[in-house]
Structure 1
Amino acid sequence: MTTVGILTGGGDCPGLNAVIRAVVRTGAKHGFDTIGVRDGWLGLVVGNVEPLTDYSVTGILPKGGTILGTSRTNPFKNEADVQRLRDNIRKFGIDAIVAIGGEDTLGVANRLSQMGVPVVGIPKTIDNDVAATDYTFGFDTAVSIVTEAIDRLHTTAESHHRVMVVEVMGRNAGWIATVAGIAGGADAILIPEIPFDLDEVASHLRARYERGKKFSIVVVAEGARSVEESRLDKKAFKKAREQMSGSIGYRVAREIQDATGLESRVTVLGYLQRGGTPVAFDRVLASQFGTAAANMLAEGNYGKMVALQDNRLVGVPLENVANRIKSVPVDHRMIETARDVGTCLGD
């Protein structure tokens, strides 16, 4: 092996550049040349690549986003794209690929691995929902940003005696909402894994008000759903959300105000959660993932994803993680902690 291609797929995430840097520098010790693939799998479909050297990755460790660009392209949706991708792998002399991404990007990596392409995957998402790894880089940065936002909203909520609803990312899993909600002292946390009853939330907030606590903070994951919505199949749920006025945060705020009479306001943090400089934990974790991936390539240990399990770096078969979601277990210690400190989870 002499040439390694590296790409970043899916949404951007703090720590991606730290991974790229680690792969390039560790690969050089093994005698590898590294080719950066532009814009995820799309770059291999259209042949958009560039050489990466030690100079290329100088100074990128603290930089957010990805110097390679990204996209959500899945070449297996078009057989012609798969053939173009394979042709470009041969054209550019790529002997192996490091694919950095979430469940969809790793799903493509797994299918290529099954076709005989040497691939090593690295888990990436601020949502922390990639299967088989305890943490993904970018998650700690997102939690820090959300926690700071909650801290700032506390003062406004208290000053104006309002309910402040904070909508955070987490379409399929509520890790950000749960951890940041606990860290920020949220009074209610609504996540996809626990269908919420708005009457329960309203009752909890009214009780706080009657005890003299004239404000409340409610953290809502974008994928949170009511008890009624939880009974819908995937197609019906999607249709209901498309017809909903505004996002879930606005709906929850409106329903809380109607049910309690308490003035409610909404903050949707959106892309702020995954932009900007990665915190130290994510820089270190991303660097560890990158060095481990390069070492696995040197060992010929393909078809695996680098994972953090019990504070150890291990290789997990891609077929065990592709297109799978790691949800928050309803008996997780974080859920128990939230309940023990009096946080309402909507059930």
Structure 2
Amino acid sequence: MKRVGVLCVGNDSPGINAAIRAAVVKGLDLNVEVMGIKDGFEGFLRDDLDVLLRGNVSNVLHQGGTMLGTSLYVPENNEIGKIKSKVEQYGISALIIIGGRLAAKSAINLMNVGVPSIVIPATIDNDLSFTDFSIGFFTAVENVKNALDVLHSTAESHHRVMIVETMGKPSGWIAVIGGLAGGADYIISSAEKTNFNEMIDIIKRRYEGRKRFSLIVIESGVEIPEDIKKECRFSPEEGSSIVIGRYIEKQLKDFGIEWRYTNLGYLQRGGSPSAMDRIIATQMAAHAIEMIKIGKVYHAVGVKGFSITEIPYSETIINYRPVDFYLRELTKLFY
């Protein structure tokens, strides 16, 4: 019997529990024992792990977050040897590392000392280069869309500009896709240089016409030109979205525009996972167990549409993938 250790590295995302569930169920089918490691590599170092059976995962599919907990800790330097010793101590054939860029970095570090693993992509940012979609992205976009639907009515009622801040820097996926799905009137992301004059013109045209409100989606931490920073009293503590709100107010003062700011923050990351996140998580985790069963490791599992892909480890699996140009251009049709 082969033994697999499953752990999470990096931030949580909806659908990780579906992946853990699939790994356990597929493992039982293929006579592969699955050990759940609590709180990432930190938990591994303190021997916080146990065998997972079907009963442990029977009611987790619909739950957000991760039943195993997670940690941002990435083993490096001397700590890598300690992790290798733990792998040998528990007779683990390979690790399944669930997470984003930190998970990929951990896998490469461990590969360098001969610790086998498979990476399953799980990040709401959807910014990993080796996969079309990562676990949690679809739920995050749904949460953004729902927030915009709610804010639309109060923006229209009070004739306000509503600024909605999303996560996802620097890839732009959440802002662009969430904004497109939620009917944003302008989207600002790190994926391309912002045309602030265009944004002001669009808001102005709306107020001159029949739609005297606007929904502006802004990716957290976007770059602001120095002249706008100076004019609008930029403060790192307040962030870019507040400065853009002040800029809109100054540029359109003749209209007496009021603006309000909502940072969606961790609301994007939580909640019950969407159908798509559950499906891709199940596909990728089951496939990872199949790969380990035949001894195929040192690969990242991804999806291309609904098809599973296997990408050998290299430094490129850590690369960022910005939101598609076509999708960025598509949003402009509705401005």
| Alignment TM class, shorter chain as reference | over 0.9
Question: How big is each residue's C-alpha offset from its partner over 1:139-165, in whole Å with a ceiling of 9 and x where there is no partner?
Answer: 111111110100110100000000000
Aligned ranges for residues 290-305 of structure 1 at < 5 Å?
Answer: 290-305=285-300
Which position in structure 2 is the counterpart of 1:69?
A: 69
| Residue 314 of structure 2 corresponds to residue 334 of structure 1 | no
Choose which of 231, 234, 251 in structure 2 pairs with 1:259. Answer: 251
Which position in structure 2 is the counterpart of 1:6?
A: 6
Classify the secondary structure of the residue corresponding to 1:293: helix
Which position in structure 1 is the counterpart of 2:118?
A: 120
CA contact (8 A) 1:199 1:259 kept: no
Which position in structure 1 is the counterpart of 2:158?
A: 160
Question: How big is each residue's C-alpha offset from its partner over 1:114-142, in whole Å with a ceiling of 9 and x where there is no partner?
Answer: 32211111001011101111111211111
Choose which of 238, 248, 253 in structure 1 pairs with 2:240. Answer: 248
Shift of residue 333 of structure 1?
2.0
- Measured in 2, the distance between the counterparts of 1:311 and 1:55 equals 28
- Measured in 1, the distance between the counterparts of 2:151 and 2:236 equals 26
- Measured in 1, the distance between the counterparts of 2:71 and 2:246 equals 35
Letter in 2 for 1:80: N
CA contact (8 A) 1:197 1:226 kept: no
Shift of residue 212 of structure 1?
2.6
Which position in structure 2 is the counterpart of 1:92?
A: 90
CA contact (8 A) 2:38 2:69 kept: yes
Letter in 1 for 2:141: V
- Measured in 2, the distance between the counterparts of 1:220 and 1:172 equals 12
Which position in structure 2 is the counterpart of 1:171?
A: 169
Choose which of 270, 273, 291 in structure 1 pairs with 2:268. Answer: 273
Which position in structure 2 is the counterpart of 1:236?
A: none
Which position in structure 1 is the counterpart of 2:210?
A: 212
Which position in structure 1 is the counterpart of 2:221?
A: 223
- Measured in 1, the distance between the counterparts of 2:265 and 2:69 equals 19
Shift of residue 320 of structure 1?
5.3
Letter in 1 for 2:332: R
Which position in structure 1 is the counterpart of 2:230?
A: none
Aligned residues: 327
In structure 2, stretches of 5+ residues that fail to align are: 228-232
| Residue 133 of structure 2 corresponds to residue 135 of structure 1 | yes
Which position in structure 2 is the counterpart of 1:22?
A: 22
Question: How big is each residue's C-alpha offset from its partner over 1:219-261, in whole Å with a ceiling of 9 and x where there is no partner?
Answer: 00113223559xxxxxxxxxx98x5241222221122112212
Relative distance call for 1:16 and 1:152 in structure 2 (3 A) is same
TM-score normalized by the length of structure 1: 0.90
Choose which of 270, 274, 278 in structure 2 pairs with 1:283. Answer: 278
Letter in 2 for 1:254: R
CA contact (8 A) 1:154 1:217 kept: yes
CA contact (8 A) 1:129 1:175 kept: yes
- Measured in 2, the distance between the counterparts of 1:92 and 1:321 equals 30
Which position in structure 2 is the counterpart of 1:307?
A: 302
Aligned ranges for residues 24-39 of structure 1 at < 5 Å?
Answer: 24-39=24-39
Kindly report the root-mean-square deviation, in angstroms, between the aligned alpha carbons of the 2 structures. Answer: 1.7
Classify the secondary structure of the residue corresponding to 2:318: coil
Shift of residue 293 of structure 1?
0.6
TM-score normalized by the length of structure 2: 0.93
CA contact (8 A) 1:198 1:256 kept: no
